[in-house]
Amino acid sequence: MILHKLIFAILLGGLLLSACAGLPAAPENRKTPLPPPSDMPTQPADEGQPPFPPAVTAARQALAEMLAIDPAATTVAAYAPAEWPDSCLGLGGTAESCLQALTPGYRVVLQAGSEFYVFRTDQDGAAVRQELAAAELPQAAVNARRDLAAKLGLAHELLVSVLSAEPVDWGDSCLGVDTPGILCLQVITPGYRVVLEAGGQRYEVHSDATGERLVLLEPGRPSTGETLPGLVWQSPEEPCQRVEISARQVNYGACGAPLSAGRLDGVRLAEMANYLAAYAPFEAETPSGWISFRGQGSLKTGPAEQRALAEWARLMLLEAQSGRSTPDQGLALAWHREGGIAGFCDDLLVYAYGRVQATNCKSSPADARTLKLDAAQLEQLFTWLDGYLPIQDYQTDPATADAMTRELLLNGTGSRAAGDAEKQALSDFASALYAQAME
């Protein structure tokens, strides 16, 4: 029986390691502009229950079914057009497969009794999901949401979603934002960085600890208290994409446009901290994009390691855009070995940014071993990726008993078809990495 065939089919996503394009000018400002209220029409609470778009009616029906009440017992407090990042309306679970395409629809605020409920829909109401309110929001986030709703002229503050509310010690009394004519005292000021979303736009608000002072970041107002990005990357292919990564945050989007904000968590947070601590600063044009790195370490990086960091930045973009991490993102090489007299059952995944993961399918996934490719191994990997067409190869010994099965996948972007000798070299490379990881 051939194991992992389905996994290999899924992992055939392919990396975009195209030749480097020219570098567009870096945008002077990366904050989300505040659109005029006319850009996001809203409807107030219904008077006499006027006719609603089908999507709003569908949301109302969904709430009635959820509470087991008559739809007439619900009230439409407000609704507004919205644009969701995927077919799951931005609320998909980790096990869901969501089409990564912008999905127009509505955010709908409903009332039943004294309680308010927020729903997301697609354009016609075929998809309806409840947007759960964040539990125990700090007062600063509540005030920031109310303030933004008023600025945008929204009919209800719940038409604004709170994406994050991060405690921050601002470096001055101006909450990290320069304002002409205002003198800022250089004192540590506790507060919050609040990220909000309304009408498909994201907004960043700086506050003090109580939320009484709020500053909405707008174009042309630089922040004095924010950490400069440790890594800046731009894609070589069009449409140009840009990523700015600091110790805990990733900002991403189209080159020359306002950038969306995301967070580094878990493994990615640790990886960024390790990069900053280990590598010295550099700036380079690589086949995987332009990169500027402000490391604090002493290790000098060569072309292969600089390109690996560019590939890591590309991976951060993919994960930020999709809102999740999957095994196929950034995958360069996959290898599986099974059978033989020794009873092998081994898997190896090699990512373009240099991470290697080795597992034995007889063991727990928690026992997976990892290692990092050195400069010579990275150079060899990139040579194969740049030179060969994609490879998906399966081989098995002719023996009927104790036969050895090998599977090999390479997400190549080159123009040459690999022959048997090249495939064997790739398999030997993977086998050696597996042995190294398991030492």
Residue 352 has pLDDT above 90, yes or no: yes
Give the HSE-up count for residue 34: Cα atoms under 13 Å, Cβ half-sphere: 18
Q: 103-138: per-residue pLDDT in tens?
A: 899 999 999 998 889 999 999 999 999 986 665 688
- Taken as a whole, the chain contains a residue count of 439
Q: 388-430: per-residue pLDDT in tens?
A: 999 999 888 776 667 778 899 999 999 999 999 999 999 999 9
Closest by CA to 219, choosing from 23, 413, 29, is 29
**The tokens of 362 are what?**
């007889």
How many other CB atoms are found less than 10 A from the CB of residue 222? 12
**208-222, 250-264, 312-326: range with highest mean pLDDT:** 312-326
Q: Are 234 and 24 in contact (CB under 8 A)?
A: yes
* Selected residue with higher pLDDT from 324 and 78: 78
Mean pLDDT of the chain: 81
DSSP per-residue letters across 126-177: SSEEEEPPPTT--HHHHHHHHHHHHHHT-S-GGGSEEEEEEEEEESSTTTTB
Closest by CA to 32, choosing from 303, 258, 368, 230, is 258
Q: 377-395: per-residue pLDDT in tens?
A: 999 999 999 999 999 998 8
What is the model's pLDDT at position 231? 92
What is the model's pLDDT at position 400? 60
What is the model's pLDDT at position 267? 82
